[in-house]
Structure 1
Amino acid sequence: MNKLRNKVQLIGNVGERPEITELDNNHKVARLSLATNAHYKNAKGEKVKRTEWHTLIAWGKVAEIVERLVTKGQELAIEGKLTYRTYEDKENVKRQVTQIVISEILLLGKAKKNQDEDENAL
């Protein structure tokens, strides 16, 4: 049962091109957003689609995989753990951020065409 603690599994689409940062020790960190969708009927019987956005962080080898293979619109399955961190913004207001640190990643589908790539092709 210990392996079930703090385990997150999501399937969704990448919102923006992943942001890759190389650290001083030659390790990489990737930051990306993932959209997941839920469909349900409201009280009026109308179909509703609700999108949730998740902030994902990948370190080391997983970050290198993200850098090489993940693009905007790509469908992913990820497994990781939920983490929280706090910081002070420019106005010295304390903020809390919820993130998912990826331990496993699976590329599921082809990336949706990126508008930036379409414009560069012209």
Structure 2
Amino acid sequence: MFTRNVMNHRCLKLLALKPTNLINNLRQTSAVSNQQEPERIEKTINSVQLLGRIGADPQRKGSSEHPVVVFSLATHTNYRYESGEFLQRTEWHRVICFKPGLRETIMNYMKKGQRVHVTGRITYGEVKGDDGKNRTTTAIQAEDVIFFQ
């Protein structure tokens, strides 16, 4: 709130200046603003929505300081060949959840085969395998889960 009032006050002062003074004052104001505030960061979108069925009961993983719930979700794509034959392709998604309330709800109520809608974002990472080699992982970090009957 304080910043907004200061900015409004600066704008009113700038509007009262002559054009040449206005330009000089704008340069000074922007130089001060750059020193006080970080640069503007470009907005981006990383959003995923999945509707599918749970492949297995969710598992609690991680440490007591950083718990996480992990489950698999199946989605399907249907194809039809020219011959009239149908083919269904199943894709499996690894879903992780860090949010405390949602984590507990998932552990208490989600069961294998249940239909759910997951909203979240794609995350990438690396884990060390049992053989000591690093491998990349891809997961959907759940922000919200809607359960269906």
Name the TM-score, length of structure 2 as normaliser. Answer: 0.65
What's the CA shift string for 1:35-81, capped at 9, x where partnerless? 00111113543111010000000112111110111000000001000
Whole-Å Cα distance in 1 between the matches of residues 44 and 55 of structure 2? 28
1:46-61 matched pairs, under 5 angstroms: 46-59=85-98, 60-61=100-101
Q: Distance in 1 between matches of 2:142 and 2:105?
A: 11
Residue 77 (1) aligns with residue 77 (2): no
Residue 38 in structure 1 maps to residue 40 in structure 2: no
What is the total number of aligned residue pairs between the two structures?
107
Distance 1:53 1:88, change over 3 A: same
Write out aligned runs for 1:1-122 (5 A). 5-21=45-61, 23-25=63-65, 28-59=67-98, 60-109=100-149
Shift of 1:34: 0.2
Partner Cα separation in structure 2 for residue 91 and residue 20 of structure 1: 23
Residue pair 1:28, 1:64 contacting (<8 A) in 2 also: no
> SS where residue 108 of structure 2 aligns?
helix
Q: Distance in 2 between matches of 1:3 and 1:103?
A: 19
Higher RCO structure (Cα 8 Å, ≥6 apart) = 1
Greater share of residues in strand? 1
- Higher helix fraction (1 or 2): 2
Letter in 1 for 2:94: T
Q: Which runs of 5+ in 1 are unaligned?
A: 110-122
TM (norm. structure 1) is 0.78
Aligned alpha-carbon RMSD (Å): 2.0
Q: CA deviation at 1:32?
A: 0.2
- Helix, strand or coil for the counterpart of 1:61? helix
